[in-house]
Structures are given as C-alpha cells and as structure tokens.
Amino acid sequence: MPVATNSFYGFVVALSNKILWTGGTMAAQSQYAELSRQLSAVGVVKRGLARILPAECPGGSAAVLSLLEQHGEMRMSRLAELLAVDMSVTSRHVAHTADRGWIERLPDPSDKRSRILRLTPAGRDLLGELARRTTDMFATRLADWTDEEVGQLNSLLGRLRTDFGDCRDRHYENQSRQEEQETHGPRPPHGGRGHADVSYTRTPTR
C-alpha cells in the first residue's frame, strides 16, 4: 500500500478513535466514527469511474464537459471555480477538450478579453458515451440496490456536500446576477432581459 494511503488511513483511524472519546452520546460517537471510515473508502468508487473513461478523455476533461452540459456555456473563470482548481489547471483541461473538438471558445460580447466556453455536438456525443459507460458500471455494481436506495444515497450525499459548505453554484448564481446588472442594468422583476439558467442532468435508467 502506498505511503500516502497509509498516512491517510492512519489519519482516519486516529480521527475515528478521537471521536469515540469526545462529546456526544456513545451512539452518535460510534456512528460518526463509522462515517469517517466509510468516507475514507470513497476513493475506490472514484478509481472505478476513472477506469471506464476513454484513454483520450481523462477525468479533468470529462469534468469540463459534464459541467458545461449541466450549467450551459460559461467563462473560464466560472469553470475554474466549479472545478475547484486554479486557472492554469483549468486552462490545460480546456485546451485538451478544445483541441479535440469537444468544446469551442467563443468571444465574449460583454468582455473582449474573455472567452465563452460551449459544448460542441462532438462533445455532446462523447458525453452520451460516458453516460452509457457510467450507467453500465453502476447498474452492475449496484445490481441488488433498489431505485429508492440509490435515490436516498444521492440525496444524502448532496446534503453532506451542502453541510460541508459546497456553495459554489450558489456563489456563481450571485456573481452572474451581479455581472449581468453591471452590464445590462437591474433585471426586471417579472421576465425581461437576462440569461436562462440552463441546468439538466441525464437520468440513467436501470
């Protein structure tokens, strides 16, 4: 086992033991300790997802395509925040996907120094293939799970992210609203000028 993995595992064990000796009921302490252990094993799921990606589409590129499908066209600065990486890393991911024709970089009419990133038909086709591979993997691994159990897991993981302060989408909704007001003036209270919130996901069928 790599040293880094050993170190992380040791940290989780130590944290779990500390939880057992800190405040709260014994039942709660035991639950949180087990949660720490379970979360330390999430990496095996991420590695499984990485293994099903095509060789020419590493994880960073897949994340770029997925975010553009989910949120619609955007500036690179917004993409960097959603990816939670710095601009230099984002730029490399964007260059990789653009060079393969999966996204296009268009002039930003409101800021000539910026570019708008947009999915191409080829990028959408690749996302369709990635969705099929992901669906096949989870359908195989979770064959004995009910749809309700999968839905509960999705809800609980989303709640966990929120409680740990994953507010990137909300931050950018506020920032986009501010940028729009600076460019076009305040948005009318009912309808009027502005960009639609493009957000959708593909729901795998089982």
Report which DSSP code applies to 205: -
Region 20-31: what's the mean pLDDT? 63
What does the pLDDT read at residue 168?
Answer: 55
> Do residue 35 and residue 79 come from a single domain?
no
What does the pLDDT read at residue 41?
Answer: 84
> Do residue 24 and residue 79 come from a single domain?
no
> Do residue 110 and residue 163 come from a single domain?
no
Q: Who wins on pLDDT, 2 or 68? A: 68
> Do residue 122 and residue 77 come from a single domain?
yes
CATH number, position 93: 1.10.10.10
204 is a domain residue = no
205 is a domain residue = no
174 is a domain residue = yes
What does the pLDDT read at residue 110?
Answer: 85
- For 142, the 3-state DSSP assignment is coil
62 is a domain residue = yes
Are the C-beta atoms of 201 and 70 separated by less than 8 Å? yes
Other Cβ atoms closer than 10 A to 110? 13
Distance CA 154, CA 137 (A): 16
Domain that holds residue 177: 145-182
- The structural domain count of the chain equals 3
48 is a domain residue = no
Write the DSSP assignment of 85-128 as a string of letters: S-HHHHHHHHHHHHHTTSEEEEEETTEEEEEEEEE-HHHHHHHH
What does the pLDDT read at residue 170?
Answer: 52
Region 52-63: what's the mean pLDDT? 95
138 is a domain residue = no
Mean of pLDDT over the chain: 78
Q: Who wins on pLDDT, 132 or 32? A: 132
Looking from the CA of 83 toward its CB, the CA atoms found within 13 Å total 27
What does the pLDDT read at residue 37?
Answer: 87
What does the pLDDT read at residue 203?
Answer: 41
To which residue do tokens 């991420």 refer? 46
Judged against a pLDDT cut of 90, whether residue 40 lies above it is answered with no
How confident is residue 29, by pLDDT bands cut at 50, 70 and 90? confident
Distance CA 206, CA 21 (A): 43
Residue whose C-alpha is closest to residue 63's, from 88, 40, 97: 97
Report which DSSP code applies to 73: S
194 is a domain residue = no
Element containing residue 119 per DSSP (H, E): strand 111-119
Region 6-23: what's the mean pLDDT? 51
Are the C-beta atoms of 9 and 39 separated by less than 8 Å? no
> Do residue 71 and residue 115 come from a single domain?
yes
Report which DSSP code applies to 199: -
196 is a domain residue = no
Q: What percent of the chain has pLDDT over 70?
A: 67
Other Cβ atoms closer than 10 A to 82? 20
Q: Residue 165 has which token pair?
A: 């302060």
pLDDT digits (tens, 9 = 90+) for 139-183: 999 999 999 999 999 999 999 989 988 655 554 445 545 544 444
> Do residue 72 and residue 99 come from a single domain?
yes
> Do residue 34 and residue 68 come from a single domain?
no
What does the pLDDT read at residue 39?
Answer: 87
